[in-house]
Homo-oligomer: A and B are copies of this chain.
Amino acid sequence: MIPTILKDGKFGKMSPTPPTENASNIASLLLSCPDQVGIIAALANFFAERDLNISRYAEYTDDGQFFSRLEWPMNDRWDDEAAFAEEFSGLADTYNATFEARFMNRCQSVGLFVSKQPHALIEMLNKYEANYFPNIEISFIVGNDESMQKLADRHGLPFFYIATDVDTLEYEKKQLEIIHRYKPDYVGLARYMKILSANFIDNAGCPIINIHHSFLPSFVGAKPYQMAYDRGVKLIGATSHFVTADLDQGPIIEQDVARVAPGASVQDMIKMGRDIEQKVFARAMLKVLEHKAIVFRNRTIIFN
């Protein structure tokens, strides 16, 4: 499932978790529609008429499509995102717009998947602890290697070990059970080294964000550092993207690269690559959790 912005609030679930100290009094709106005269005025008026100050506004026009994001300090006008959506949908219909509101006082829930390599998970846990992300809760960690248990324990988070040495259908069923129990807003694949089936992606009920250890579209699939070495590239990179049924083909959220030193081995690349991977993954998760990503035609618009 790609997190394109939906016309009506999709937020059936309200997390039972009490807002953390990071909870914020801000609401945000993502909106996308065909570019046309008056859309900005219509948006601005909607808020001005309700005496709400738009505290932050940004927009881009790309290929005839208009994308905007705005923030306002919440008051008690709307109880939740669904209430906002009801009141806003008239305007949206007029402009043939899709939109998604987020009330930041609602704690978002995140589930993380990991395999054997801990670095992307460690980065997420440390940044979570350091309040790098907005009002979120990491609700659970799923791993196919038992060694990750101790990382979860350190941070007091539930860890579910699900062996993947069985039939895909079987272990994905177990994974989906966890997901359906916690109903996370997002799942992050923190170097999870199993391909997810289309069925899993369809049934997860939330967007899934992956970190791939190459500068996509170069080096899709397994062993990208070996491929990068063999091709002799002078920069290696990492790519975080929304997961779709096509392997490593989903909309890209963030990428970065680093220069390869002369004489560097594949092992050297793997080692320095870890820093790029975890940095790119954390930045992409931040953008998604700050409600700054719109997907459109397999590309993303990422707001500052």
Contact = CB atoms under 8 A, between A and B. Distances in A.
Nearest to A279: B275
A232 B252 contact: yes
A94 interface: no
Contact of A257 (B57, B217, B235, B304): B235
Contacts of A274: 130
A247 interface: no
Give the residue among A42, A234, A252, A256 with the most B Cβ atoms within 10 A: A234
- Chain A contact-residue range equals 35 or more
A302 interface: yes
Nearest to A215: B215
A55 to B, nearest CB: 7
Interface in A165-184: none
Given A38-B48, A44-B45, A58-B58, A265 B63 contact: yes
B261 A304 contact: yes
A263 interface: yes
A271 interface: yes
Given A48-B38, A234-B255, A275-B279, A130 B154 contact: no
A56 interface: yes
25 contacts: A35-B55, A40-B54, A41-B41, A41-B45, A41-B48, A42-B44, A42-B48, A44-B45, A56-B61, A58-B59, A61-B263, A62-B263, A118-B130, A119-B126, A126-B126, A215-B218, A217-B218, A231-B252, A231-B299, A232-B299, A232-B300, A262-B301, A262-B302, A262-B304, A275-B279
